[in-house]
Amino acid sequence: MTQTLLRGRLLSFVSEPQSLTDSESYRYETDGGLLMDNGVIVESGPYAEVEAKSAADAVEIDHRPHLIMPGFIDMHLHFPQMQVIASYAANLLEWLNTYTFPEECRFVESAHAQRIATHFYDELIRHGTTTAVAYCSVHKTSADAFFAEAMKRNMRMVGGKVMMDRNAPQGLLDTPQMGYDETREIIAEWHGKGRNHVAITPRFAITSTPQQMEATQALAREFPDLHIQTHLSENHDEIKFTCELYPDAIDYTDIYARYGLLGDKTLFGHCIHLSEREADAMSEASAIAVHCPTSNLFLGSGLFPLKALMRRDKPVRIGVATDIGGGSSYSMLRTMDEAYKIQQLLGERLNPLESYYLMTLGNARSLSLSDRIGTLDKGTDADVVVLNAAATPGMALKMEVVKTLTEELFLLQTMGDDRAIVETYVAGVAAKGAL
């Protein structure tokens, strides 16, 4: 296969930034080279050194003066909610019942699921996201469409058919046995095929009976390497209703713990209103709280205490995500802009190094996939995003006075969106330019 050599400013993280001046936490090459071959990064470093190691027929693409970073990772979104986005609702439960559940019913039709899957991957690529963790609908057809399209695009994706057997319309219900059987079929058909990862996906405790939670526990025991994804502590009415459904549990988090679902592969969407006990339990289990700022603001769910959870004596592992369609943007840049504002409202500071760490290496670590993605290290997947901080006239004007890398990152996060994504490379291939 022909090698591709990218030239530009390379930026990637090696550890969690401790401050705005923590230059040990990242690698930055002002004239960098990134050599990709057969889907993998084979060399990364100063351009002159990497160029000297490249094959004579390597195709060189000059991205100067743009920034080259690991592709963004979105830790939580709903593939069947592309046409739910921007729905006018008072709160989470009204939004689910009025818009989301009726829309998800349509995914029983393969043709609809396939059509939306095509758009889904187009949007991810357009916004520089190269890996995402998604909920499909309850229908196996939706998971089949999701994974088939991921394979076609050669993207590293995590996803699962949601299991839900109560408190939703008939067209969206499985049964404990059916949810178990279909998830096993999906694992057999798709897990490890291409770059696919199947996640065990009980939607949330409200829509699963105790019998279904037991079936989920059985799956988690049989497939301990798989991710588990669900929702936790998003909205006060949701918390109250959930705890009424599981009166024996100490609190919402304890419901999942009782069914063996609180572990280091479990991704809990939201976690806005955790008690100290719940945060301790999350920390002890190394479970991941996935912050979805545009969704939390859009649905009025609350202000996620990101910095407070990170700095606890018992810190909670964090992911960041769009939560389409409760979320209002496919862009991880827009997402981190809103995350920043939420911390401002809480009297906290989220510095731009932390933001870009979270979107790349931080999310990769929370997925236990940092040996493959979220980095520009030699031997890892060639999933890369190229960013232009002067993408619009307004951004270009501001760039005239930007002096440092962190100022540039902050501008990109504050004003950037898909227009700032010059190119998205998926497994070494320019995917955005091909849309």
Question: Measured from the CB atom, is 10 or 92 closer to Zn ion?
Answer: 92
* Minimum CB–partner distance for residue 125 and Zn ion (Å): 21
Instruction: Mark the segment that binds Zn ion (CB under 5 A) among 21-29, 204-212, 306-314, 322-330.
Output: 322-330
- Is the Cβ of residue 138 or residue 384 nearer to Zn ion in the bound state? 138
Nearest residue relative to Zn ion (C-beta): 269
Q: Tell me whether the omega of the peptide bond preceding residue 202 falls within 30 degrees of 0, making it cis.
A: no
Tokens coding 360: 């790349």
Q: Give min distance, CB of 269 to Zn ion, in A.
A: 4
Max CA distance (Å), the chain:
68
Coil vs helix vs strand at 426: strand
Task: Kindly write down the DSSP assignment for every residue of 345-377, as one continuous string.
Answer: HTT----HHHHHHIIIIIHHHHTT-TTTSSS--
**β-strands 40-46, 26-37 pairing:** antiparallel
In the complex with Zn ion, the residue whose CB is nearer, 8 or 269, is 269
Binding residues for Zn ion, rule CB under 5 A, total: 2
Q: Is the dihedral of CA 13, 382, 124, 223 positive or negative?
A: negative
Nearer to Zn ion, 246 or 268 (CB): 268
Q: Up-side HSE of residue 118: CA atoms within 13 Å toward CB?
A: 6
Q: Smallest distance from the beta carbon of 321 to Zn ion, in angstroms?
A: 8
- Select the span of 17-25, 257-265, 283-291, 318-326 touching Zn ion (CB under 5 A): 318-326
**Min. distance of Cβ 413 from Zn ion in angstroms?**
22
Shortest distance, position 13 Cβ to Zn ion, whole Å? 26
Do 352 and 310 form a contact (C-beta atoms < 8 A)?
no
Q: Phi/psi class of residue 201: alpha, beta or left (left: φ > 0; alpha: ψ in -120 to 50)?
A: beta
CB of 136 to Zn ion, least distance (A): 12
Q: Is 70 one of the binding residues for Zn ion (CB under 5 A)?
A: no
Pick between residue 183 and residue 322 the one whose CB is nearest to Zn ion: 322
Q: Which of 176, 269, 362, 428 binds Zn ion (CB under 5 A)?
A: 269
**Which residues contact Zn ion (rule: CB under 5 A)?**
269, 323
